[in-house]
Amino acid sequence: MSKTHKIAVLPGDGTGPEVVAEGIKVLKAVAAKRGFKLDLTNFDLGGERYLKTGEILPDSALNDLRKFKTIFLGAIGHPDVKPGILEKGLLLRLRFELDQYINLRPVKLYSGVDTPLKDKKPEDIDFVVVRENTEGLYAGAGGFLKKGTPDEVAVQESINTRKGVERCIRYAFEYTKKRNKRKKLTLCGKTNVLTYAFDLWERAFNEVKKEYPDITTDYAHVDATTMWMVKNPEWFDVIVTDNMFGDIITDLGAMIQGGMGIAAGGNINPQGTSMFEPIGGSAPKYTGKNVINPLAAICAGGMLLEHIGEEDAALDIEKAVMKAVGKDIKNLGAGKMGMSTTEVGDLIVKYIGG
């Protein structure tokens, strides 16, 4: 009997449904080729539903999602909904409630893809950011005092628990070991200014590293990290960092690997429900035009398969994407690919073969 994987699909807003459709097309093709089945369940959540019903993430939907090992997410964010409502109420709430404490973001330049970094080649840009995904400045701690008055105070605190920091660092060490490339893990922080938060990070890092004598470790302040990512990206193998810094440096990472059109990520709870997504937004201005690049979603689908143990299928997707960007798709920008969203999906399916 062939294996069946149950996947929750959350297309979301804007171009989310378009890229998710191509991602699913590719997942189905690779499942047929490799002989496993997909049982997909669609979840109607996002800006449209909120505007119609006022619901963002009903408890019933959350509890249903908990039953899945993986979620395939399109994009969250709607032009008619005030910024923050859907991001916090849906995307961040899912990450927190499902305790997806790792945000895994590979930064890999494929041959044939343009990078804005002069003289850098695919062998120079191949690293992974392990971003803590449930704490830090994102935890929502803080508040206002005397809001709206001239004496107003706004406080936003970074929450760093020993448990949260240590499990993230431990995941990063394990990941570096399993990745088995340069076996180097860089802690990215700001120990010279954030002397409480990153003191905890540094102590946890130094303790855990004793268990991994084969892994070379390094430390870089976050500002220097952005500098090295541009000047010497080849120095990095795996970077571990907190939520806010990870958010910032992975947008830079996406740009040096060729843009949001190709950047994918996973929100991971190794014991629970993990969620894979293209890291770009909902791109409202391209919605419904069949011009958005679905490769990031297709790559997110590949990460999902790797997560559920379908490594060969994941490799099939990566190879097909590499072939397409090396040969047919020279520009990864929306509307600039020389083919439509659906044609890109079809091309990847063709390269996967059967």
Binding site for Mn ion (CB under 5 A): 247
Tell me the CA distances in angstroms from 147 to 130, 138, 139, 144, one per residue in order: 36, 21, 21, 6
User: Of the two residues 132 and 247, which places its CB atom closer to ligand IPM in the complex?
Assistant: 247
At which residue do the structure tokens 């409202």 appear? 284
Nearest to 12 by CA among 67, 63, 61: 61
- C-beta of 91: minimal distance to ligand IPM in Å? 5
* 99-110 as b/e: b if 16+ CB within 10 A: bbbbbbbbbbbb
Read off the DSSP letter of residue 6.
E
> How many residues sit in the footprint of ligand IPM (CB under 6 A)?
5
Residue with nearest beta carbon to ligand IPM: 87
Q: Which of 7, 92, 239, 254 binds ligand IPM (CB under 6 A)?
A: 92
Phi, psi of 197 (to 5 degrees): -60, -50
User: Of the two residues 76 and 325, which places its CB atom closer to ligand IPM in the complex?
Assistant: 76
Residue 45 touching ligand IPM (CB under 6 A) = no
d(CA 253, CA 107): 6
The answer to whether 308 and 69 are in contact (CB under 8 A) is yes
In sign, the C-alpha dihedral spanning 92, 98, 103, 109 is negative
Stretch that binds ligand IPM, among 87-95, 200-208, 232-240, 329-337 (CB under 6 A): 87-95
User: Of the two residues 31 and 91, which places its CB atom closer to ligand IPM in the complex?
Assistant: 91
Partner from ligand IPM, Mn ion, none contacting 234, C-beta within 5 to 8 A by type: none
Residue 87 touching ligand IPM (CB under 6 A) = yes
User: Of the two residues 245 and 351, which places its CB atom closer to ligand IPM in the complex?
Assistant: 245
User: Facing residues of 188 across strands?
Assistant: 220, 241
Partner from Mn ion, ligand IPM, none contacting 92, C-beta within 5 to 8 A by type: ligand IPM
The answer to whether 191 and 198 are in contact (CB under 8 A) is yes
What amino acid occupies position 76?
I
- C-beta of 145: minimal distance to ligand IPM in Å? 25
User: Of the two residues 50 and 173, which places its CB atom closer to ligand IPM in the complex?
Assistant: 50
User: Of the two residues 126 and 132, which places its CB atom closer to ligand IPM in the complex?
Assistant: 132
User: Of the two residues 24 and 91, which places its CB atom closer to ligand IPM in the complex?
Assistant: 91
Read off the DSSP letter of residue 236.
-
In terms of C-beta density within 10 A (0-12 exposed, 13-18 middle, 19 or more buried), how is residue 230 classed?
Answer: middle
The answer to whether 130 and 238 are in contact (CB under 8 A) is yes
Residue 73 touching ligand IPM (CB under 6 A) = no
User: Of the two residues 247 and 318, which places its CB atom closer to ligand IPM in the complex?
Assistant: 247
Partner from ligand IPM, Mn ion, none contacting 188, C-beta within 5 to 8 A by type: none
Nearest to 252 by CA among 348, 346, 125: 125
User: Of the two residues 126 and 247, which places its CB atom closer to Mn ion in the complex?
Assistant: 247
Stretch that binds ligand IPM, among 85-93, 141-149, 189-197, 232-240 (CB under 6 A): 85-93
The answer to whether 266 and 104 are in contact (CB under 8 A) is yes
Read off the DSSP letter of residue 279.
S
Residue 247 touching ligand IPM (CB under 6 A) = yes
Q: How many residues does the chain have?
A: 354
- C-beta of 77: minimal distance to Mn ion in Å? 11
The answer to whether 102 and 268 are in contact (CB under 8 A) is yes
Residue 91 touching ligand IPM (CB under 6 A) = yes
- C-beta of 88: minimal distance to ligand IPM in Å? 7
Site string for ligand IPM, 249-288 (x = CB under 6 A): ------------------------------x---------
Residue 94 touching ligand IPM (CB under 6 A) = no
d(CA 202, CA 187): 8
Q: List contacts with ligand IPM (CB under 6 A).
A: 87, 91-92, 247, 279
